[in-house]
Structure 1
Amino acid sequence: MIDKLSDLRTQVRGRVLLPGDGGFDQARRPWNLAVEQSVPAVVEAADAADVAALVRFARTRGLTVSVQPNGHGATGDLDGAILLRTRRLDALEIDPDARRARVGAGLPSGRLQAAAAPYGLTGLPGSSPVVSVTGVALGGGLSWFGRAHGWVADSVTAFDIVDAEGRERRVTAGTDPDLFWAMRGGGGDFAIVTAAELSLHRAPDLYGGRVLWPIEHGEAVLEAYRRITATAPDELTLWLDLLHFPGSEPMIAVDATHLGAAAEARALLSPLDRLPRPLADGRRTMTVAELGTITAEPTDPGAGSSRGELLTGLDDAAAKTLLAGPIAPLMSVQLRHLGGAFARPSDSPHGPLTEPYALYLFGVPADPATAEAVTARQRELSGALPVSGRKPFTFLCPGETAADAFAPAALDRLRDVKRRHDPHGTFRSNFPVLG
């Protein structure tokens, strides 16, 4: 392997780090520090031409390349692939009249939101402002505004890519429908994205925030959450969080966003106002650039253990199960209300998302005993709740595969696209479709 990499630095202008180089260990680490990621080299591409040169280098030497802008979603299983960082590909262009944006592969979601907000426009951001826009789109993407506008990938209109031959190309539904379909949710197994073009959506008004109660009010809060989500319009999204942070008492929160006027939002959320006095109420009129403040997720890497599921319902038995027993050793049990545009036709590998709720279970594996307890609790809750048996691609965690995200027919089609467009296996995603 060392012989094959000996002249890598002469092929690209960006930084190349090999084992033993200062900064190598930091550069190879994924976002989740609980995942150990061993690679023979890290390349920080300077531009799309660098990406193309790296692919040609790898292709002629029988090597593989795996892309991680920041390392979100890493599993540690890269099978000797060169790790490509695309953080420096962070160009951003917005055409407010056409309601369109062109984003570099490394651009974080928060920067797109900040640029779109002054025009009364929005992308489809998730909970974290530091995740790359293209990384989320390649996995389908669950957004705060997905109930109104569907998968993040549904808004992508074009990809600028480097293919398995090292050629820079533009891919659309018209130029290559199969490849375009696969890339709108099937992961990074088919080409390396250097930029993406996507539709923006009108968001002249936004109201949202978090309301927090002690867990003793959990039953009442969960019942109000069920009542609101049963009739919520597509513009309203609610997430429920059972929280137990180290050094604090357990709590329950409702996080909300509403694409509309504050008065309308307050009326829709009025069942929350009839609950016991909260510990905190952060609901307010906000801009789409401030969405990351709602859940206040960490913006620096850290260790974590997660599990995601899709729920077929939230009946009385499921509600009782969620509140039974302590939250710990988990730090967060989150329910995301889906439905709306998620459930409508989508020309993507996931297709329509008909399950009404997504479940996300998160804990911190501080030591081996805690890690085992976190995994056991995740397994216990998932086994006791009405899960559908599939999960969003972006919710996959180490030990799971693409087969856990896609229906058999979609997976077969993804595998066919992979074999045709990358016959020598030059690209390796976090969750390979052939794995």
Structure 2
Amino acid sequence: MNGVNTLRSVVRGRVLLPNDSDFDAARRPWNLAVQQPVVAVVEAADADDVAALVRHARAAGLSVAVQPNGHGATGRTEGTILLRTGRLDTLRIDPARRRAHVGAGVPSGRVQAATAPHGLTGLPGSSPIVSVTGVALGGGLSWFGRAHGWVADSVTAFDIVDTEGQQRHVTAETDGELFWALRGGGGDFAIVTALELALHPAPRLYGGRILWKADRAPEVMEAYRQITATAPDELTVWLDLLHFPGADPMVAVDATYLGDESEARDLLSPLHRLAQPLSDTTRTMPVSELGTITAEPTNPGPGLSRAELLTELDDVAVKALLADPIAPLLSVQLRHLGGAFTRPSDTPHGPLTEPYALYMFGIPSDPATAKAVAARQHGLAEALPVSGRKPLTFLNPSESVADAFAPGTVARLRHLKNHHDPHNTIRSNFPVHG
């Protein structure tokens, strides 16, 4: 393939081809259970490099798949050049305007570290190492989404390379349709090299994890339902059923509150009235330390996930969740939504009206275990009041945009894809054409 063999003359960043010793490591996604076939890997030096690569790929009839580090990889990369954007790492904070200019390779934790001294915050999720751009392109569920909506709702501009290899600044005023699609419709329409993000006040933050033995799960669940029934938008509470290898089953509640400790402890008092927990890390903390709450892995590994949105958390749902051990799953997480998620949103997802998100995770260590994990996830989903819709960033490799968006939205996204990229030069993790 001449277009591949001449890549080193096109870009200044590192190029890895199948015969190079580092090729397999460079193309490896975060989820090691996903196979990622590509014809080359390019680690772009900057936005000019991205533009040059796109022009070259288009002329050669090739496609470019974009990933900072592959957290959302699905393996739909056959025949593509894999573009790594980790070196696009510019980060500028404007505290007076409450804006952040965030390069495509900047992880959430770095934004939080830069905003914390100013009493500001971005909209971080549970992991500090996931790129802000990747999350925003998928809509994005944040710790502070109940107060401020989708991560994408706070994006005010994109710097992109379009499918002709031209660099552009896209806003609601300059290209309203493309701006709409990029705010949660995925990365199928252009390559984002940076974005501008509205920041939010966070002068005080209280948060942490409280952990109990699994036999306390019914009491914890009842307290969780009581808290979430009246929670203000500033309070976010997640419940986790956990069963790690070599450990006894446990139940945890993770919480953040944008406010004073005394207010937070009052809101969480149903939990504090329960039996002595195994541990309690709740405290006043800087927004830069949000990643410590769930302490998610910082190294790649295999995983099999499934997410659902619940229409309610009634007695029937609680019984289904607690009736049996979660094994072979490692975790079953309930995220309280509501608040600002339910308000008007000019994004492909639109308002998120379901009150809870469910995320189930297991490790497919061998074919038999993988089958058992999938069966347990399927059984739980079948027993719960699910809406059939799920956030784009929570989709697994077997799913598609049709699982995230309404049919009319999918049709609109496909029309935009045909208009902006008729040659399919850019291929996202979840292509809008399936």
4+ residue segments displaced more than 4 Å: none
Q: Which residue of 1 aligns with 2:33?
A: 34
Alignment of 1:22-101 (within 5 A): 22-101=21-100
Match of 2:255 in 1: 256
What is the rounded CA distance, in whole Å, between the counterparts of 1:156 and 1:276 in structure 2?
43
Q: Could you tell me whether the CA contact under 8 Å between 2:3 and 2:56 is conserved in 1?
A: no
Who is 1:210 aligned against?
209
Q: Alpha-carbon deviation of 1:289?
A: 0.3
Residues 1:157 and 2:156 are matched in the alignment: yes
Question: Tell me, what secondary structure is at the counterpart of 1:242?
Answer: strand
Of residues 77-86 and 106-115 in structure 1, the stretch that sits farther from structure 2 once superposed is 77-86
Preserved CA contact (<8 Å) 2:202 2:258: yes
**Deviations, residues 262-312 of structure 1 (Å, cap 9, x unaligned):** 000000000001111100011000010000000000011111100011000
Question: 1:41 aligns to what SS in structure 2?
Answer: strand
Partner Cα distance (2:418, 2:311) in 1:
34
Tell whether 2:166 aligns with 1:167: yes
1:233 and 2:222 equivalent? Answer: no
Give the deviation of 1:367 after TM superposition. 1.0
Partner of 1:430: 429
Query: Does residue 408 of structure 2 align to residue 400 of structure 1?
Result: no
Q: Answer yes or no: is 1:363 the counterpart of 2:362.
A: yes
| Shift of residue 73, structure 1, vs aligned partner | 1.1
The letter of the residue matching 1:92 is L
Distance in 2 between the 1:22 and 1:6 partners? 16
3-state SS of 2:368 partner:
helix
Q: Secondary structure at the match of 1:321?
A: helix
CA–CA distance in 2 between the matches of 1:236 and 1:6? Answer: 53
**Counterparts of 2:193 and 2:335 in 1: how far apart (Å)?**
31
Which amino acid in 2 is paired with 1:4?
G
In 2, the alpha carbon distance for the partners of 1:259 and 1:419 equals 43
By how many angstroms is 1:385 displaced?
0.4
Q: Which runs of 5+ in 2 are unaligned?
A: none
Distance in structure 2 (CA, Å) of the matches to 1:342 and 1:258: 16
Letter in 2 for 1:217: R
Q: Secondary structure at the match of 2:142?
A: coil
**Alignment RMSD (CA, Å):** 0.5
TM-score for the superposition, normalised by structure 2: 1.00
- Equivalence map 1:107-256=2 (5 Å): 107-256=106-255
Secondary structure of the structure 2 residue equivalent to 1:335? strand
* Aligned counterparts of 2:19 and 2:127: Cα–Cα separation in 1: 33
Asked whether the 8 Å contact 2:14–2:44 carries over to 1, the reply is yes
1:308 aligns with 2:292: no
Take 2:109 and 2:83, find their aligned partners in 1: how far apart are those partners? 22
Query: CA offsets per residue over residues 352-372 of structure 1, 9 Å max, x none?
Result: 000000000000111111111
Q: Which residue of 2 aligns with 1:19?
A: 18
Amino acid at match of 1:237: T
Deviations 1:180-239 (A, max 9, x none): 000000000000000000100000000000000001010000000000000000000000
CA distance in 1, matches of 2:76, 2:420: 22
Q: Do 2:42 and 2:82's aligned partners in 1 also have CA atoms closer than 8 Å?
A: yes
By how many angstroms is 1:4 displaced?
2.6
Contact 2:36-2:78 within 8 A present in 1 as well = no
Equivalent residues, number = 434
Alpha-carbon shift at residue 409 of structure 1 (Å): 1.0
* Distance (Å, rounded) in 1 between the aligned partners of 2:85 and 2:96: 29
Question: Identity, % of aligned pairs?
Answer: 74
Cα distance in 2 between the residues matched to 1:63 and 1:11: 14
Q: Offset at 1:398?
A: 1.1
Note the C-alpha offset of 1:117.
Answer: 0.2
Contact 2:31-2:303 within 8 A present in 1 as well: yes
Task: Work out whether residues 189 and 417 of structure 2, in 8 Å CA contact, stay in contact via their aligned partners in 1.
Answer: yes
Q: Deviations over 1:53-92 (max 9, x none)?
A: 0000000011100100010111112131110000000100
Secondary structure, aligned partner of 1:328: coil
Does the residue aligned with 1:228 lie in a helix, a strand or coil? helix
Partner secondary structure for residue 128 of structure 1: coil
Letter in 2 for 1:38: P
1:241-263 superposed Cα distances (whole Å, 9 cap, x missing partner): 00000000000000000000000
Distance 1:6 1:225 in 2: 57
* 1:409 matched residue in structure 2: 408
What's the CA shift string for 1:74-123, capped at 9, x where partnerless?
11121311100000001000000100000000000000000000000000
The 3-state SS of whatever aligns with 2:115 is helix
Partner SS state of residue 227, structure 1 = helix
One-letter amino acid of the counterpart of residue 81, structure 2: I
Matches of 1:70 and 1:224, distance apart in 2: 38
1:394-429: CA deviation from partner (whole Å, max 9, x where unpaired): 000011000000011111111111111111111100
Q: d(CA) in 1 for partners of 2:84 and 2:201?
A: 32
Tell whether 2:348 aligns with 1:349: yes
Secondary structure of the structure 1 residue equivalent to 2:207: strand
2:83 aligns to what SS in structure 1? strand
SS at match of 1:40: strand
